[in-house]
Structure 1
Amino acid sequence: MMKNRRISIMDTTLRDGEQTSGVSFSAPEKLSVAKFLIQELSVDAIEIASARVSEGELNAAKKIMQWAQSKGLESKIEILGFVDQGKSIAWIEEAGGKVLNLLSKGSENHLTHQLRKTIQEHITEINKTIEDASDRGIKVNLYLEDWSNGMKQKPSYVYDLLEGIHVEKLGRIMLPDTLGILTPQECYGFVKDMIDRFPTLNFDFHAHNDYDLSVANVLSAIEAGASGVHTTVNGLGERAGNAPLASVIALIHDHSDFSTAVEERKIALLSKMVESYSGIRISQNCPVVGENVFTQCSGVHADGDNKKGLYFNDLMPERFGRVRKYALGKTSGKANIVKNLESLGIEMEPKELKLVTDRIIELADKKANVTVEDLPYIISDVLRTQQVEQKIKLCNYSLVHTLGLNPTATLSIDIDGEVYQATSAGDGQYDAFMNSLRSIYAKLNKPFPALIDYSVTIPPGGRTDALVETVITWQFGKVFKTRGLESDQTEAAIKATIKMLNVIELEVENY
């Protein structure tokens, strides 16, 4: 087998990908994706539409073809058409298209039950369509729809079909696994059979993912000698979708002796663009482009990466315009936190690092999703808490909010070793908590500050399901602030309040 052969990539996101249930790209969206695929990613060709679908499809195809003509890229833009007495050819010609991907029946079962024609009738109509398109200056590639079933059920039909077609006027023969039924072993054998029987033809392989084998089948097809493969961004397509562009490129580059012209660094950016346009969310664990695929969660992994990149593989995030991350959670441990601190330029003493680690684990147990943007807030909260002597401690509390009734708060608090309890109502849960505190302090004749401002924020870049910072401004002779950091807004305010009680306790003692 020839080594270092370049594999042609035809992306069909804008045609087959748009056949995903619920997906419909607007004309401007189609144009922006087409430009990105060709100019930024450098794919060899794109399939942008199906002929005769709608007026909107025609207008979108016209816009793309106008742009392509201005750049001399018409030959890279392909449109699916049908054996329909020249109607598809006229549609493509009106759109300005120069390449027809002609759909023919690659299995006798489809020919017999869908078209209800003989193989000779089909061959005659295909040849007529090829001749008519060629006469109008339109290049033709040929899809053998349901080819995989054709090879499994009656390969002689596939051979007879190709032997009767004017293949000398065709560009590429495209072999679809239309229903995604092939195993990698079958795929290799069938593709090799086609190449051995028709050595002068160029074959593409078109995979579907019904058994989650599309990417593996792509590798089998190119190893068998296919000169091109078809992809879609994010694996869009009917049913379980098509072979995902990102995974196919990574596989070819890392696990074969072949190459492509595709620019890897732009793949993740295009993936996000198509996610936005299509409304189909990318799975967080989707290879190459998923949110979590370059994130280490285990502290053991982070420790191994620190020592010798022990948990790296060839899929380095920088290849795809991404960065490696280290998750902050209950399994992350100190090594993950150190990695995140390094990215922020922060160094900590071992004792402080343990306190921060314990706080992150505490938050993660509450299912808070802690991000690197939250880390400075956590550090500040932990270190500020340690600086204040804890003479007053909250033992426990209960907040009740019932429809039609004022919220109530019951709490018990330890002041210098004595525990006090109170229950009060209020306009809100925090107000009820404060009323309970005030009642305890009033009975003890202890001074209580005035609350003059209350603000709630999330860390920049953070998420509301992770951390909320509550900053409360108090007046007690002087104006001062305390902060509370928690995954719940009210709990954060209560933490800020307990800090306040310890601050004023020291103030009163020192006075």
Structure 2
Amino acid sequence: MNQPASAIEILDTTLRDGEQTHGVSFSPAEKTNIGKALLERVRVDRIEVASARVSRGEIEAVSGIIDWARGAGLADRVEVLGFVDHGKSVDWILKSGGRVINLLAKGSEKHCRHQLGKTLGEHLNDLRANIELAREKGLAVNLYLEDWSNGYRDSRGFVYRLMDGLADTGVGHFMLPDTLGVMTPEQVTAAMTDMIRRFPHLKFDFHPHNDYGLATANVIAAVQAGAAAVHCTINCLGERAGNASLAEVAVNLRDQLGLNPRIDETHLVQVGELVEHFSGKRTAHNAPIVGEDVFTQTAGIHADGDHKASLYHTRLSPERFARSRRYALGKLAGKASLLKNLERLDISLSEENQHKVLQRVIELGDSKKAITSDDLPFIIAEVLEGKDYTHVELLSCTVTSSLDLQSTASIRVRLQDEVLTAAGSGNGGFDAFTGALAKILKKKGLALPRLVDFEVRIPKGGRSDALTECIITWACETGEVRTRGVHYNQVFAAINATLRVLNLQIQGSLQQSRSIDPTA
């Protein structure tokens, strides 16, 4: 069954199922901000925001989202998972201001018998009573058939009888979950097609899990079979291997199926970063659509094709997502990769110097050094001048840290042609170092740029004596700049990254003054 171009709905369950990710717990304020972003900026059709009766803080979170949604005319798009509990979930949702309950039923005979200890008839009686109560109190009702995928496989008769017993209850959406992520796209197609043909007047949602890495493919199969709505989360959050990615689902619906979901793609990355920050779960750099590296070309032949005729561009362009294409520098880089990065940095080199710089890039890449466009000015300086920028050089440094005492740092620095010393204290060794450095810079009318982000990591599988990589993002006058420092001591890795941005800053000032006064 084919869907009309605008028929498919997307429900995002980041705030409910996504919060079942191990180690993730959103505060009420975080939930409100994510909910607003999903409905207002990303423009998903519906959001599922919590499970009823979880905690006192949860009702505060739901109330905050509902209060905002009511003012924006979106309260009917906010849904809460509820349980067969003699109306307790209904009352909890009403108290929060909610208007929609997603009632949890047992979609498999095994769950019904072994978890509830009830017959299908008994479970149906409980469900009908809860649905009737919810509707009498003004709530719209959707119904999850928990473990439907296994239930359909093991005992279709149970699923059919369950549906027959609920078809006349006024349920808006029957939600069919692949609770344990066990289905293939072919199985989803067959099962969804069967359900829709047997119950043509009912609306079915498909709720995937990604245990076999098939969540997005299964969503596409469900939509092709005629599902009215599909469920997903930001950044694939969810229990175990997570759910389907909202970004992947939205883009595939548009590009592969020719549908027109409401999703505003330009906000997908931004909201993904918001969820990443609040959840503490980092997104893989190669995650489709939202990963840091997915619009980076590494092979020189690809950069060459793009440089000549955009040969490696597809409909999946970075501009759709308010991003830009990048060309990696490393052992696989070619002349076109270098040219693309030089254009971005507005640097011109002769043919001879381009060749020298490219050879150095390949040499560094061959030694497994990670090279970014931010490194390129240093490589150019190394090739053309035989060294990195060394306007500032750390000659000696002592950093001490003690329990319940401030850290201290004493440094001796060469700043251009002058050797200066200073001491500082602070909340940790790096803070103490920057305090001491600030005193030296102030004497010369200089200052460090504002620190925006700070990341420290070691290689996977590393040991306690492994190299530490520190990446710092700075807010410079020309925009954000990232610098990297590597050292066995994480404080000194951060110090190296700091000296690097300071050298860049001074070099930029010198170049600017020379362009104004060529004799300078």
Residue 136 of structure 1 is matched in structure 2 by 137
Deviation at 1:453?
5.8
Instruction: Write the distance in 1 (CA, Å) between the matches of 2:186 and 2:321.
Output: 30
| More divergent stretch after superposition (159-168 vs 243-252) | 159-168
Instruction: Write the distance in 2 (CA, Å) between the matches of 1:465 and 1:287.
Output: 28
Instruction: Tell me which amino acid in the other structure corresponds to 2:149.
Output: S
Instruction: Write the distance in 2 (CA, Å) between the matches of 1:218 and 1:334.
Output: 41
**1:318 paired to 2:319:** yes
Residue pairs, 1:314-393, within 5 angstroms:
314-385=315-386
**1:71 paired to 2:91:** no
Instruction: Tell me which amino acid in the other structure corresponds to 1:223.
Output: Q
Instruction: Tell me which amino acid in the other structure corresponds to 1:464.
Output: R
| More divergent stretch after superposition (148-157 vs 167-176) | 167-176
| More divergent stretch after superposition (363-372 vs 297-306) | 363-372
Residue pairs, 1:88-237, within 5 angstroms:
88-237=89-238
Deviation at 1:96?
0.6
Deviation at 1:242?
0.3
Instruction: Tell me which amino acid in the other structure corresponds to 1:328.
Output: L
Deviation at 1:29?
0.6
Q: String of CA shifts for 1:220-245, please: whole Å, max 9, x gaps.
A: 00000001000000000000000110
Residue 60 of structure 1 is matched in structure 2 by 61
Deviation at 1:451?
6.9
Instruction: Tell me which amino acid in the other structure corresponds to 1:164.
Output: G
Deviation at 1:348?
1.8
Residue 298 of structure 2 is matched in structure 1 by 297
Instruction: Write the distance in 1 (CA, Å) between the matches of 2:266 and 2:100.
Output: 29
Q: String of CA shifts for 1:7-66, please: whole Å, max 9, x gaps.
A: 100000000000000000011110000000000011000000000111111111111111
Instruction: Write the distance in 2 (CA, Å) between the matches of 1:65 and 1:487.
Output: 45
Residues 172 and 202, structure 1, Cα contact 8 Å, conserved in 2: yes
Instruction: Write the distance in 2 (CA, Å) between the matches of 1:224 and 1:253.
Output: 16
Residue 35 of structure 2 is matched in structure 1 by 34
Residue 11 of structure 1 is matched in structure 2 by 12
Instruction: Write the distance in 1 (CA, Å) between the matches of 2:497 and 2:367.
Output: 8
Instruction: Tell me which amino acid in the other structure corresponds to 1:377.
Output: F
Residues 36 and 270, structure 1, Cα contact 8 Å, conserved in 2: yes
Q: 1:145 to 1:125 in 2, by over 3 A?
A: same
SS of equivalent residue, structure 2 residue 144: strand
What runs of 5+ residues in structure 2 fail to find an aligned partner? 388-411, 422-436, 442-447, 449-471, 488-495, 504-520
SS of equivalent residue, structure 1 residue 464: strand
Instruction: Tell me which amino acid in the other structure corresponds to 2:42.
Output: L
| Residue in structure 2 matching 1:464, options 474, 484, 490 | 484
| More divergent stretch after superposition (309-318 vs 39-48) | 309-318
Q: String of CA shifts for 1:269-318, please: whole Å, max 9, x gaps.
A: 01111011000110111111111110011111100111222222221111
Deviation at 1:252?
0.8
Residues 127 and 166, structure 1, Cα contact 8 Å, conserved in 2: no
Instruction: Tell me which amino acid in the other structure corresponds to 2:71.
Output: S
SS of equivalent residue, structure 2 residue 374: helix
| More divergent stretch after superposition (256-265 vs 84-93) | 256-265
Q: String of CA shifts for 1:362-401, please: whole Å, max 9, x gaps.
A: 3333433222123233323422339xxxxxxxxxxxxxxx
SS of equivalent residue, structure 1 residue 462: strand
Q: String of CA shifts for 1:332-357, please: whole Å, max 9, x gaps.
A: 12211100111222222110101111
**1:452 paired to 2:419:** yes
SS of equivalent residue, structure 1 residue 103: strand
Instruction: Write the distance in 2 (CA, Å) between the matches of 1:153 and 1:308.
Output: 54
Q: Provide the TM-score with structure 1 as the length reference.
A: 0.77
Residues 14 and 233, structure 2, Cα contact 8 Å, conserved in 1: yes
Residues 357 and 379, structure 2, Cα contact 8 Å, conserved in 1: yes
**1:81 paired to 2:87:** no
Residues 12 and 47, structure 1, Cα contact 8 Å, conserved in 2: yes
**1:246 paired to 2:213:** no
Residues 483 and 498, structure 2, Cα contact 8 Å, conserved in 1: no
Residues 369 and 466, structure 1, Cα contact 8 Å, conserved in 2: no
| More divergent stretch after superposition (132-141 vs 363-372) | 363-372
Residue 21 of structure 2 is matched in structure 1 by 20
SS of equivalent residue, structure 2 residue 81: strand
Deviation at 1:360?
1.9
Q: 1:450 to 1:168 in 2, by over 3 A?
A: closer
Instruction: Tell me which amino acid in the other structure corresponds to 2:483.
Output: R
SS of equivalent residue, structure 1 residue 171: coil
Instruction: Write the distance in 2 (CA, Å) between the matches of 1:26 and 1:265.
Output: 26
Instruction: Tell me which amino acid in the other structure corresponds to 1:195.
Output: I
Instruction: Write the distance in 2 (CA, Å) between the matches of 1:227 and 1:488.
Output: 53
- Extract structure 1 runs of 4+ deviating beyond 4 A: 453-460, 486-490
| More divergent stretch after superposition (79-88 vs 323-332) | 323-332
SS of equivalent residue, structure 1 residue 313: coil
What runs of 5+ residues in structure 1 fail to find an aligned partner? 387-429, 432-448, 468-485, 494-511
Deviation at 1:359?
2.2
Residues 132 and 169, structure 2, Cα contact 8 Å, conserved in 1: no
Instruction: Tell me which amino acid in the other structure corresponds to 2:101.
Output: L
| More divergent stretch after superposition (452-461 vs 367-376) | 452-461
Instruction: Write the distance in 1 (CA, Å) between the matches of 2:330 and 2:285.
Output: 17
